[in-house]
Amino acid sequence: MTAGIYTVDVKDDSGCSVKQQFVVDAASFNMSCLITPAATSVVCGSVGNTLSTAVSGATYQWTVTSTDTDWMITSGSSDSLMVYTAGNSGSSATFTLTVEKNGCTQTCSYTVTGGCVVRDNTGGGDPSSSEPCTTTPTTPTIPTTPPVVVEPTPEPEIPTEQPERDCKTGVAISAYPNPFRDRVKLEWTAAATERIRLEIYDMRGNRVGVLYEGNVTKGQQYSCEWAASNCKDPFYYYRHTSSKKVTHGKLVCKR
Reported as a single tens digit per residue, the pLDDT across 112-128 is: 877 788 764 443 344 44
Domains 29-118 and 123-151+171-255 share a fold: yes
- Domain 29-118 is found in CATH 2.60.40: yes
Q: What is the dihedral of CA 137, 143, 144, 145, to 10 degrees?
A: 160
Provide the pLDDT for residue 5: 80
By the 8 A CB rule, do 60 and 97 touch?
yes
Highest mean pLDDT among 8-22, 27-41, 57-71, 127-141: 57-71
Q: For the domain bounded by 123-151+171-255, which CATH number is listed?
A: 2.60.40.2550
Q: Please report, for the chain, the start and end positions of each structural domain, with discontinuous segments joined by +.
A: 29-118, 123-151+171-255
Q: Cα Rg for the chain, rounded, in angstroms?
A: 26
Which residues, 6+ apart, have CB-to-CB distance to 13 below 8 Å?
Answer: none
Q: Determine the average pLDDT of the residues in 200-220.
A: 88
Q: What is the pTM of this model?
A: 0.41
Quickly state the pLDDT bin for 171 (edges 50, 70, 90). Answer: confident
Does residue 198 carry a pLDDT above 80?
A: yes
For the stretch 214-247, pLDDT in tens is 999 999 999 999 887 677 888 888 999 887 788 8
Tally of CA atoms within 13 A in the half-sphere of 184 that contains its CB = 26
